[in-house]
Amino acid sequence: MIGGFTVTNNTQFGIRGPFPASRPRRMRRDVFSRDLMRECEISSKLLIQPYFVIEGEGPDVPVPSMPGVHRVTVKSLVSKAKKVFELGVPMIVLFPVTDDAAKTDDCAGAYDPNGLAQRAINAVKQAVPELGVMTDVALDPYSPHGHDGLMDEGGYIVNDETVEVLVKQALSHAKAGADVVGPSDMMDGRVGRIRVALESEGHIHTRILSYSAKYASAFYGPFRDAVGATDTLAGADKFTYQLDPANSDEAMHEIAADLQEGADMIMVKPGLPYLDIVRRAKQQFAVPTYAYHVSGEYAMLKAASQAGWLEEKKVVMETMMAFRRAGCDGVLTYYAHDIAQWLND
Ligand code: PBG
């Protein structure tokens, strides 16, 4: 036995014969046997496509640090949602890019029934009812300082007061028609409070995909450009609520708590640099597990591809395969539409 595997050798069979006894390359020789032993496949059904949504009727606005990604109006969102659904992608997630006027200390814009997020959810559900619509539950689009929660006088992001607002935000998303709410704020106890509120208000089918293991990562840079948070954050970090990239036990505690509080699905974020967390989570909890292939990861692949240093399609598909192999049931990626298109071609 070597590392739990039985290894055959020549002497075992009394053969003096050719070396080596084990030839794994036999199975790799032809397409048919490679096909037969492939462990993972990529399908459009396991992808979640994010969109940045803006007010107005104007043209889509490119995001400079994410070539190929645009901020889209509600009208444009609806047409993109139709196309992506036709390509087989089961769910989209919406990120509103709010005007500065919508940002207040109490973050009341988060639960405005006529807010941008709420109108966008409604428009997509009207146009493409079978497409899953997921939302981001966090206060960063509505806070003047770009943090995911309410701030006290000392600059600390307060937990319980923030949770009160997150509950209202999640309810307003559910009322607007959201199928899945995604708390990405990392406050303690928010999943339980959101679940109780959804149940008691009759939203018994609303799923919670909790960003349980969300790290304080520098890979979010382009996203913050896209939503205009780079300036409002002004160099501040989120280390008092997001996870330390050095830790993995802490992520397991977060996931356990969120599941106990009523999460249906869990997310690891960022993605590729955190595949060890995905693997550990899937093994330990055996629940629907997703990874967020974040903006910085997209930017890296895109930039290298545009420079001609990497073959985009191949590296993107290999990246998706890595997520599957690690244990992801699905992947939230800015490449979702492209991948679904490539698979259909
Ligand atoms: C904020 C939020 C962030 C992302 C998704 N939701 C940024 C942050 O936590 O500062 C980042 C996603 C990405 O980089 O693609 N609630």
Kindly list the structural domains of the chain, giving each domain's residue range(s) and its CATH number in brackets, ordered by start. Answer: 42-344 (3.20.20.70)
Among protein residues, the one whose CA lies closest to atom 7 of ligand 1: 220
Task: Kindly provide the b/e burial profile for residues 306-333, where b requires at least 16 CB atoms within 10 angstroms of the residue's own CB.
Answer: eeeebebeeebbebbebbbebbbebbbb
Extract the runs of DSSP E, i.e. beta strands, from 98-175. 132-137
pLDDT confidence of residue 13: 64
The one catalytic residue in 80, 103, 125, 214 is: 214
* Sign of CA pseudo-dihedral 38, 42, 43, 47: positive
The yes-or-no answer on residue 45 being catalytic is no
Degrees to nearest 5, angle at CA 97 with 96 and 100 = 125
* Cα→Cα distances 14→17, 19, 21, Å: 9, 13, 12
Query: With contact defined as beta carbons under 8 Å apart, do 42 and 321 qualify?
Result: yes
Phi, psi of 266 (to 5 degrees): -125, 155
The one catalytic residue in 80, 269, 282, 302 is: 269
Radius of gyration of the chain (CA): 22
pLDDT confidence of residue 22: 83
Degrees to nearest 5, angle at CA 126 with 121 and 132 = 55
**Residue 18 C-alpha to ligand 1 middle, in angstroms?**
56
Closest by CA to 254, choosing from 171, 345, 188, is 188
The yes-or-no answer on residue 214 being catalytic is yes
**Residue 30 C-alpha to ligand 1 middle, in angstroms?**
43
- Residue to substitute in 147, 186, 223, 231 for testing ligand 1 pocket (most ligand atoms within 8 angstroms of CB): 223
pLDDT confidence of residue 12: 63
- Residue to substitute in 272, 294, 331, 334 for testing ligand 1 pocket (most ligand atoms within 8 angstroms of CB): 294
Any atom of ligand 1 within 6 Å of the Cβ of 97: no
pLDDT confidence of residue 15: 64
Among protein residues, the one whose CA lies closest to atom 6 of ligand 1: 184
Q: For the whole model, what pTM was predicted?
A: 0.94
Any atom of ligand 1 within 6 Å of the Cβ of 138: yes
Which numbered atom of ligand 1 lies nearest the CA of 185? Answer: 16
Give 10-residue mean pLDDT values along the chain (345 residues). Answer: 64 66 92 97 98 96 97 98 98 95 94 98 98 98 96 96 98 98 97 98 98 97 90 91 98 98 98 98 98 98 98 98 98 98 97
Any atom of ligand 1 within 6 Å of the Cβ of 294: yes
**Residue 240 C-alpha to ligand 1 middle, in angstroms?**
15
Any atom of ligand 1 within 6 Å of the Cβ of 297: no
pLDDT confidence of residue 272: 97
CA–CA dist 201, 176 (Å, integer) = 13
